[in-house]
Amino acid sequence: MKNGIFHAYGVFWRLDEIDWTPGKGAKKAFRLLGRQGMNQGTIKIADFRDQKGIYILYGNYGPHYVGLTKELGLGNRLKDHLFDKHKNKWDRFSWFSFGKVLKGKDADGLQKFGGSAAAALVDADSQIDDIEALLIQAMALNNVAKMNFATAQCWTQIKLDEWEKYLGKVRK
């Protein structure tokens, strides 16, 4: 059984589709919402803000910066780059998460997360394939050999004006 390095990913998400400063309090925290599917009963929504992984910032001329989240989650690392030396140099990003998206849901109807696969459990071929798939996806390459992740699933960014529509579908 293959077990890859990455378990979820999103490519070319837009910076301006995230409310980075929604207010104070736990319920007002910014979110990195992604979805799979669109219809009630089959839709899955997850908040990738606290996930660990690799991310790529893109500006007008392509990839601008690559980072790795170890302690801070993906969301906080991205938010840091809104105010550091990368400010105003990027408007899109891709991310590749080590954490597993579980079948269970939290109180808000969002998918729960599990830990990442231990390196010892990821076979060498899957590691190599996942790294190649990351590079192909992150650079939007059209390779002859279309590499797929061993276990990672693609998540589509939920646009700000669609949040309530989709969240309503998982809260019912």
User: Percent of the chain scored above 90 by pLDDT?
Assistant: 35
- pLDDT value at position 124? 63
Map residue 98 onto helix, strand or coil. Answer: coil
Rg (CA), the chain: 16
Residue range 133-158, pLDDT digits in tens:
778 777 776 665 666 787 888 899 99
Give the pLDDT of residue 4. Answer: 77
In this prediction, residues 10-39 reach a mean pLDDT of 86
Query: What pLDDT does 87 receive?
Result: 94
Tokens matching residue 161: 């004006």
pLDDT over 80 (residue 10): yes
Alpha-carbon distance of 74 to 79, in angstroms, equals 9
Share of the chain above pLDDT 70, in %: 85
pTM, 2 dp: 0.84
pLDDT higher than 90, residue 91: yes
Inform me whether the pLDDT recorded for 100 exceeds 60.
Answer: yes
Which burial class, exposed, middle or buried, applies to 39 when counting CB atoms under 10 A from its CB (0-12, 13-18, 19+)?
exposed
